[in-house]
Structure 1
Amino acid sequence: MPGRKRLTRHDWAAAALAAVAADGLAGIAVEPIAARLGTTKGSFYWHFRNRESLVEAALELWEQRNTTAVIATTDADDPRAALRSLMLAVFVSTTSRADPDAGRGHAVEVALQAGAHDPLVRAALDRVSHRRVDHLTSLFDRLGFAPADARHRALLAFTAYLGQVRLATATPGLVPRGADLDGYLDRLLAALTGP
């Protein structure tokens, strides 16, 4: 059709993530997503074999956006600066009203945690969680903590993030913002990096 944009696999995966943010894993349904994209199921079948392959593509995009890209953009030579940058990036994104994609990313995180019974989701959560904790462990290791201590501190930091995401989703009024977030983050980092 003249004037109609040809959708890509990425367009479909992004729309699937938006559907997960809005309606959970059940939101990944071909016909409603096609309607939101202004296309037909034929476009879907041009890019995907079935719903499962769309779920896989959506999970890959989520991992790239919310893990790979975040780690890459917050890495620094100084491990303390890298840790602060990482924590600030993920904590600010839970409260950002200016970036709807960031908020959707956290809504996706919550929805995926709730959908962990699905084998594809469980495998993605396992892979992403290990990657995140391994990255955090490497930061604490570079700060000079013993391997077991670095791992425990990484798990504490990761659970603080998951708690922040849940709190921002369920009770956003309790989440520190602005200058309050800076002070909160300073205290959190002091607790995580203290003796």
Structure 2
Amino acid sequence: MTAPTRSAAGAPARPRGAERQGRLSADDWAQAALELIAESGVQAVAVEPLARRLGVTKGSFYWHFPSRDALLQAALERWENVEQEALFGALEKMPDPRERLRALFQMVAHEYQSHVIYSALLKAQDHATVQPVIERVSKRRLDYLTASFRQAGLAREAAQHRARLTYTAYVGFLQLNLQLQQARMQQEEFEAYVEHLAQTLVPA
């Protein structure tokens, strides 16, 4: 499967190392930090390499953030907000809960950069800044899945079980790729896998 030409937080990717015109915003720094997390993990986020990446001095960073952890917090909040607006916001326009679940499977399956960031966060989930983000994101996703399965006709307990199973399949797939260091599936194989998940998990 080929990666979409989008940045780590869903915004169009920007040229790396290009000289920025005018003063950078805090959001520029947060976006650059997300791109670095996607490439090299949470531990790679540092002021000096990000300044070089953005073509500015470190003074620009300290204009917006008191510390590296403050930047990391802002980057992860940006990732959360973009996901909530772009993914869940778009799905709410679909009245049929079964079609909404199928659309969710397709949208999540093809947000490759989001998978990379989430995998990086899983590897750093003991980090004091990362842990609450993982907890919030996981709870929001599970709540959304549970509500969707309820709307699709499942009883409360069955909807909760199906939501956990669905989310476990997602996290487990990412973890399996990390542990086995597997190459990404070919497009046709991956599409067949996503369709199998939808047929298995979405109520008939």
Using structure 2 for the length normalisation, give the TM-score.
0.81
| Matched residues, number | 182
- AA aligned to 1:92 is H
Aligned equivalent of 1:124: 133
Given candidates 106, 109, 132, the residue that maps to 2:115 is 106
Instruction: Report SS of the residue matched to 1:119.
Output: coil
Which residue pairs with 1:8 in the alignment? 25
- Counterpart of 1:31, as a letter, is E
**One-letter amino acid matched to 1:48:** F
* Aligned position for 2:96: 78
Q: In the TM superposition, what whole-angstrom CA distance separates every residue of 1:28-66 from its partner, at most 9, and x where no partner exists?
A: 101110110001111111111111110110110111223
TM-superposed deviation, 1:87? 0.5
Alignment of structure 1 residues 1-195 onto 2, 5 Å: 4-75=21-92, 76-94=94-112, 103=113, 105-166=114-175, 170-173=181-184, 175=185, 177-178=187-188, 180-194=189-203
In 2, Cα distance between the equivalents of 1:29 and 1:176?
Answer: 34
Inter-partner Cα distance in structure 2 for 1:185 and 1:111: 22
Over aligned residues, Cα RMSD in angstroms? 2.0
Give SS of 2:129's match.
helix
Q: Cα offset for 1:185? A: 2.9
Q: Give the Cα separation in 2 of the matches to 1:35 and 1:130.
A: 36
Residue 109 of structure 1 aligns to which amino acid in structure 2? Y
What amino acid does structure 2 have at the position aligned with 1:177?
Answer: Q
Residue 115 of structure 1, CA deviation: 0.4
> SS in structure 1 opposite 2:171?
helix
Within 2, Cα distance between the matches of 1:106 and 1:10? Answer: 21
Secondary structure of residue in 1 paired with 2:111 = helix
Structure 2, unpaired ranges of 5+: 1-19
Output the amino acid matched with 2:158.
Answer: D
Is the contact between residue 67 and residue 132 of structure 1 (CA under 8 Å) also seen in structure 2? no
- Aligned partners of 1:176 and 1:185: how far apart in 2? 12
Once the two structures are superposed, what CA deviation does each residue of 1:98-125 show, in whole Å capped at 9, x if it has no partner? xxxxx3x222111100001112100000
Rounded Cα–Cα distance in structure 1 between residues aligned with 2:168 and 2:147: 16
Q: 1:152, 1:87 → 2: CA distance?
A: 17
1:70-108 deviation per Cα after TM superposition (whole angstroms, max 9, x unaligned):
1112331111111011110111233xxxxxxxx3x2221
Task: Give unpaired runs (5+ residues) of structure 1.
Answer: 95-102
Higher relative contact order at CA 8 Å, sep ≥6: structure 1 or structure 2? Answer: 2
Q: In structure 1, what is the Cα distance between the partners aligned to 2:82 and 2:183?
A: 23
Quote how far apart the aligned CAs of 1:25 are.
1.1
